[in-house]
A and B are shown apart, each in its own frame.
Chain A
Amino acid sequence: MKDGVGAKGKKVANTAMNDEAEEEKKKVTIYIMGKAYEVPAGLTIMKAVEYAGFQYIRGAGCRAGFCGACATVYRKKGDYKLYTALACQTAVEDGMYLTQLPFVPANKAKYDIEKIEVSPNTLIKFYPELVRCVSCNTCTKSCPQDLEVMYYIQAAIRGDIEKVAKLSFDCIQCGLCAIRCPAEIAHYHVAQLARRLYGKYMSPTPKHLLERIKEIESGKFDREMEEIMKMSIEKIKKMYAERDIEGATEARAKAEKD
């Protein structure tokens, strides 16, 4: 059934903002909770919502695609599909009908990660609804991070914790999968438990981390820390702006050279 099916909600991200001046001239109509608003084309959904006069008190956080606070659902004119997106990462399109989800209710199991004995059924034990998955793939289709959500749920059912951890690594807990799932699974909580178990009991402990912990404990960085504590806010801000980021420093140097 591939014909006539368009790509998933296109993610234009913030790059569109560069052409803001030009885009400003073009307007599109979007429908926020049923009411029409004219907004400049090229805005992200989040900016467009604010442009329309709304103020976020929930449903916005990092504004950079990392926190998962801005889950949004929308339809397009003449298209039955229900699209899902992060409002801060998706450009508005003409004729979008949208609403944001301020919160996704989902139960998180109670556990003490120190006390769990990992077995093939551990994830089902805490989240028995896992076994209700019908492999409809709706979760995968709704994930704005393009994760293979169905396959991580399936790996969870068969106790492959490592696979769950790896497939779900980029999950930002937006909850869009959970709100769409007919089996009423809370995918992201399952995945988080799997990653915790993987980190605690299954992945090899990195040697350099152990060494660094020893260094910290032996007081190697105490003096530097004290110095920072005494610094003025301005100086800390400056230091932060000029800090060395792995890879970024070289990239900046290269950009300057070009």
Chain B
Amino acid sequence: MRVKVGGEEEEIVAKVEEISGQNIMLCYQCGQCSASCPMADYMDLIPSRVMKMLQLGMVDDVFKANTMWICATCLKCSVMCPKDIDVAAVMEALRQIVLRRNEEYLSLGKISKDRIEELPQIALIASARKMTP
């Protein structure tokens, strides 16, 4: 049961479920995703926390946190989840919601030219796809 029933929050959570194709309510907070996440150390909210907050409709806090951007789409959480939730897809949905508002996380023009010179294409392309609208 969501704490904030109805209203804008619920709509956004529904959107996350629609884009990710996941049922967020299935999460029972075992924490496997967070335990296995290689980037958890750098996240404002660990993945299981994001799941819980989405269940509670606390979308503002979720969007304020850096979690979705720090996620590296390594899919470890998704294979670990005993409830078969594709947690990485939930992160993707959160990113998509922001990107679809035409807001960017990564500014390609601000990466130094020297770094671009040596970075592999694959890194730039993947970053652009995950972090630019």
Contact = CB atoms under 8 A, between A and B. Distances in A.
A128 B106 CA distance: 12
Given A121-B116, A121-B117, A121-B119, A129 B108 contact: yes
Contacts of B116: 121, 124-125, 128
Interface in B100-120: 108-109, 111, 113, 116-119
B132 A132 contact: yes
Interface residues of B, number: 15
B59 to A, nearest CB: 27
A128 B109 contact: yes
A158 B121 contact: yes
Given A131-B108, A131-B128, A132-B132, A125 B117 contact: yes
Nearest to A119: B117
B124 A131 contact: yes
Interface string A112-125: 00000001011011
Interface string A127-170: 01101100000000000000000000000011000000000000
Contacts, number: 34
A131 B109 contact: no
Nearest to B125: A131
A234 B125 CA distance: 59
B121 A125 contact: no
Interface string A76-97: 0000000000000000000000
A129, A132, A157, A158 — most chain B CB neighbours (10 Å): A132
A124 B127 CA distance: 14
Nearest to A159: B121
B71 to A, nearest CB: 20
B118 to A, nearest CB: 7
Given A131-B121, A157-B121, A158-B121, A125 B113 contact: yes
Contacts of B128: 129, 131-132
A118 to B, nearest CB: 11
A119, A131, A157 — most chain B CB neighbours (10 Å): A131
Given A121-B119, A129-B128, 7 more contacts: A124-B116, A125-B113, A125-B116, A128-B109, A128-B116, A132-B128, A157-B125
15 contacts: A119-B117, A121-B117, A121-B118, A121-B121, A122-B117, A124-B116, A128-B108, A128-B109, A129-B128, A131-B121, A131-B127, A131-B128, A132-B108, A132-B129, A132-B132
Interface of A: 119, 121-122, 124-125, 128-129, 131-132, 157-158
The 5 A-B residue pairs with the shortest CB-CB distance in the complex, in nearest-first order: A128-B108, A131-B124, A131-B125, A131-B128, A132-B128
